Structure 1
Amino acid sequence: MLGPILVGDESTLEKNQYGSITGEIYFQFENFCFPELRWNDFIVVILCWWNKAVGTLEVSSVGTTVEFHFMDGPFYVRGVKSGEEKVTLNFLRRKIEGFEILASRDIEIDSLKTAIGKVSRKIVRELHRKNWSTNDTEQLESLVRKRR
């Protein structure tokens, strides 16, 4: 394993007047952070998407592609199932014409699933502590319960 795969900082959670919750979430491998160190985005919505995407990778055939989107910015991660238990993650930036690959990493699907699950559980605990409940937080909590 190449160090932390996903960083989600529960101490950075904020809820706006419309009920949207943001917080720091980014991938980190050694000195490489994607999209960048301390990236702040719509963490609850993103974790819902990512839990579903990694679930698709688990049950799909080799060659299946899923995307792990961020809500803000031109950044996303494309995951290609490269073996029964492996995925290649391509860290991409959208451009006017196509995209640019900023980095690629091969990891085990279970490692990705574990990382997303760990951050999701940590965020759900903090949401409970803050007593924040929205449709998005309920969906994330449901996804976390299904993954146990």
Structure 2
Amino acid sequence: MRLLIPYINAMIKLRLETLRLSVSGRITGTVYINLSKVFFPEETWNDFPLTIFNWWSHSFLNGNEGDYRFMDGPFYFKIIKKNGLYFLEGFFDRKLIVSTELDIDEFQCSLIHNIEILLNTIKKNKWDIDANLDIELLNENLCKLKKNI
């Protein structure tokens, strides 16, 4: 069953208190899209924010539209433009399960904010991770996103 949500602010949510550095050097944490009282994929979704924020910022910088994947599981969302309006559509496998109109500027600000939270947490905790290239790329993408505001 597809859930059609009237216009709301779709906000990326990275829960700072859940961020952890695994023994293998990967950062995990709860990350999801908050669609008012609907959460995609779910409010307790645990994933790899460094990886997915790199993917999402890359997709956003390449024209906003496209697939925004989660690393764990078959969930992803698309941002599409129809008649001058943007929409966020959430999928499980290839099945559309949620759709809402999207304020693309607010979504961009949400992406920037959560990338900053992640990068600041890595720096503050002095996490020695084996992903310096990923951090460097995310910093570059963050600078580009900020220039596009």
The two structures have a TM-score, normalised by structure 2, of 0.83
Q: Which residue, out of 10, 13, 30, partners 2:19? A: 13
Deviations 1:57-102 (A, max 9, x none): 25xxxxxx40000000110001112255x321110000xxxx2211
Secondary structure of 2:25's counterpart equals coil
Offset, 1:141: 2.0
Q: Does 1:131 align with 2:129?
A: no
The separation in 1 between residues aligned to 2:29 and 2:144, in whole angstroms, is: 23
Gaps of 5+ in 1: 59-64
Distance 2:89 2:25 in 1: 32
| Residue in 2 that maps onto 1:74 | 74
Unaligned runs of 5+ in 2: 1-6
**Partner amino acid for 2:71?**
M
AA partner of residue 43 (structure 2): L
2-structure distance, mates of 1:29, 1:93: 16
Deviations 1:99-141 (A, max 9, x none): 2211101112212111111111111111110112522222212
Q: 1:13–1:23: 8 Å Cα contact kept in structure 2?
A: yes
- Give distance in 1, aligned partners of 2:66 and 2:46: 22
Identity of aligned residues (%): 25
The residue type equivalent to 1:66 in the other structure is: G
| Shift, 1:18, TM fit | 2.5
The yes-or-no answer on 1:111 pairing with 2:106 is yes
Amino acid in structure 1 at the alignment position of 2:102:
I
Larger CA deviation: 41-50 vs 106-115: 106-115
- More RCO (CA 8 Å, sep 6+): 2
Residues 57 and 109 of structure 1 are in contact (CA less than 8 Å); yes or no, is this contact kept in structure 2?
no
1:2 paired to 2:1: no
Residues 85-96 of structure 1: pairs in structure 2 closer than 5 A: 86-94=85-93
> Given the alignment of the two structures, is residue 146 of structure 1 paired with residue 121 of structure 2, yes or no?
no
User: Which residue does 1:62 correspond to in 2?
Assistant: none
Q: Is the 8 A contact 1:76 1:91 kept in 2?
A: yes
Give the 3-state SS of the residue equivalent to 1:5 in structure 2.
strand
